[in-house]
Amino acid sequence: MKRDPVAFLKEEMKDLRNKNLEWIIRYLEEGSKPHSVVDGKKVLMLNTNNYLGLASHPKVIQAAIDATRKYGAGAGAVPVIAGSFDLTKIFQEKFAKFKEVEASLLCQTGYAVNSGLIPMLVGKPDIVVSDELNHGSIIDGVRLSGAKRIIYKHRDTSDLENQLKEAEKERARRICIITDGVFSMDGDIAPLGDIAKVAEEFGAMIFVDDCHGEGVLGNGRGIVAHFNLQGKVHIEGGSMSKGFGVFGGTVAGSKDLIEFCANKSRTYLLSTAHPPGVVAACIASIEVVETEPEHVKRVWDHTNYFKKEVQNMGYNTGNSETPIIPLIIGDPGKAQELARVLFEEENIYGTPIVFPMVAKELSRIRVQMNALLTKDDLNTALSAIEKIGKKLKII
């Protein structure tokens, strides 16, 4: 019998559906705002990374329009050939000043930063000491590097110190500690101050992925500013596509680091640069964060209120310390069902997070606060989450 070489595709998807592990993709028909149209339905959005609501900020939108009219729709080349505009230089200088470092680089995505830069910083003669709950893009970057990977217990600096002692015995060329700043599935924060002290003792590099901290922590400047560690963290990876509401990955640090990244990171060197309109929008979003502090304040006010209310209902929010508020259900089927009923019956869009994003037994709905939400929006969502949670015997 003739063999079907792609039969496995259908079989594996069938298996995922049977285990309640399929990702359901819904399509927005309006912008990323608290109220949007998704699959033809007007819904309240509780699941975007657009924490400050800047994706729809008039100044950010206008900057994109003006630059597109002046420069066109696309960059036309990779950054090192002809894809870097004067706007790119302006952004990189402004972002470095904003982060209080010597230099910065605008890269294609946060994922591209990790998968492209980590393999250049470390290789087979080196050791990476990595938090056990680091983002998949960090894991992929370390695998691509070929460096030996040592895992330390989540946010446990005592275990980190023990692992560094073991790493030191191997006389590696370099030791690099890598951690998320804000852990995207749980909303907890890396103890970066303690990590910096341990790293200095062992002469280790620190690489922090601050994608979910930028725009939120440290008055918008991120986790390094939050802990007042400017100059003590060697590599800051980040993203313009979350708190800043636009798109793109970033690297911030010393002039030496940025020159190294611009010459060595394959994802940066071999991917087309951002459209000029996107770069202009990134510039505008930084200016908004600098001049309109009310957005950061509002997202934290919402976070504190919402988290307290869902905890009082009996939901498990884990160790969340940020606008990422997980409602940890446990069973992936119930997590999928809670999201489905909220969407279909209550017009509330929340995404179920299941394996491989989290362990199967920690399946959840990840709620994310947005500065543009109103108190009425929050109360509407809280009422529905309580009602459906009781109906499904989750709380």
> Which residues lie across from 131 on neighbouring strands?
152
Catalytic residue (choose from 57, 99, 234, 242): 242
In degrees, to the nearest 5, what angle opens at C-alpha 244 toward C-alphas 118 and 222?
60
Cα 370 from Cα 33, distance rounded (Å) = 9
Active-site hit among 57, 99, 135, 212 = 212
Active site residue 35: no
Q: Quote the CA–CA distance of 241 and 184 in Å, as a whole number.
A: 14
CA distance linking residue 78 with residue 332, whole number of Å:
41
Q: Residue 100, by phi and psi: left (phi above 0), alpha (psi -120 to 50) or beta?
A: left
265 belongs to the catalytic site: no
Place of tokens 């992929």: 140
Our measurement of the distance from residue 270's CA atom to the centroid of its chain's CA atoms, rounded to an integer in Å, reads 23
The answer to whether residues 230 and 222 touch, using CB atoms and an 8 Å cutoff, is no
* Cβ-contact 333, 21 below 8 angstroms: no
| Identified catalytic residue from 130, 184, 265, 285 | 184
Q: Is residue 212 annotated as a catalytic residue, yes or no?
A: yes
Which positions are annotated as active-site residues? Answer: 184, 212, 242
